[in-house]
């Protein structure tokens, strides 16, 4: 890769735009960046599920004090859902537990339902999530087959744009407020359509003004750091 135009001052504090790969938790990314940079103080602004990909804002050193400001920014995602099925986690991380017919569900109906989900709404955090209740993550309760009471959260869906409708596959772009679970949104859409749905792919493409097109992979970041270390002082 080409030589960087400026050096990252990791320990002093940097805001990094990282492209999270599928299968990694957000903490996995943080742990990897600690190893790459040699900096212990590293944090991320906004969790992505392991199956999700895309933009993750990671801060090092003193820049971690700015994380709260990034967390509150609006998000943009490109999502793919499969109609006609339901899973406990609302995505493909868990097996399909129910199948339903998609007969009568056409492009016009899908477009109508997607449009109905714009605006402010209350959303219940899914059991398969990292939200903490009584000091324990919800997904840990879910693994034990226990469902606990939780409070709905106020979110805002600023816009939904259909990208592909080829039943049972639907792809769309959604712009939303912080705290929005796209897989919960997909599950609700499936219920509204009457056939069920689950999230099959998700990429975060934007956080506020920051775009995934400007993000680096962990491999690129590692090569970047190696290059900086090799430069003569």
The set of catalytic residues is 49
Residue 221 CB neighbour total at 10 angstroms: 21
Give SS3 for 174. strand
CA angle 153, 55, 171 (to 5 degrees): 70
- Backbone torsions φ then ψ of 160, nearest 5 degrees: -130, 125
Bridge partners of 82, per DSSP, are 169, 198
Distance between CA atoms of 221 and 189, rounded to whole angstroms? 38
Q: Confirm if 129 and 139 have CB atoms less than 8 A apart.
A: yes
Residue 150 CB neighbour total at 10 angstroms: 15
| Both tokens assigned to 7 | 């050096």
Say if strands 153-166 and 42-45 run parallel, antiparallel, or are unpaired. Answer: unpaired
- Backbone torsions φ then ψ of 171, nearest 5 degrees: -120, 140
Report the candidate in 25, 220, 3, 10 with the shortest Cα–Cα distance to residue 137: 25
Question: Sign of torsion, CA 52 204 63 178?
Answer: negative
């Amino acid at each position: 890769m080409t030589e960087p135009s400026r050096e990252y001052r990791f320990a002093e504090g940097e805001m990094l735009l990282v492209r999270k790969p599928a299968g990694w938790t957000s903490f996995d990314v943080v742990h990897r960046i600690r190893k790459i940079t040699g900096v212990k103080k590293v944090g991320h602004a906004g969790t992505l599920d392991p199956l999700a990909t895309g933009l993750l804002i990671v801060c090092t050193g003193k820049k971690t004090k700015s994380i709260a400001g990034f967390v509150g920014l609006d998000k943009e995602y490109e999502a793919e859902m499969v109609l006609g099925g339901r899973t406990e986690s609302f995505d493909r991380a868990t097996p399909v537990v129910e199948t339903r017919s998609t007969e009568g569900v056409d492009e016009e109906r899908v477009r109508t339902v997607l449009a109905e989900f714009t605006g402010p709404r209350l959303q219940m955090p899914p059991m398969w999530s990292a939200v903490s209740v009584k000091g324990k993550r919800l997904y840990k309760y879910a693994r034990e087959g226990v469902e606990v009471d939780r409070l709905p959260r106020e979110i805002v869906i600023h816009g939904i744009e259909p990208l592909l409708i080829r039943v049972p596959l639907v792809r769309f772009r959604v712009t939303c407020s912080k705290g929005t679970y796209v897989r919960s949104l997909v599950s609700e859409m499936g219920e509204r359509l009457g056939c069920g749905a689950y999230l099959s792919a998700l990429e975060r493409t934007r956080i506020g003004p920051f775009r995934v097109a400007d993000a680096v992979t962990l491999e690129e970041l590692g090569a970047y750091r190696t290059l900086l270390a090799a430069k003569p002082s």
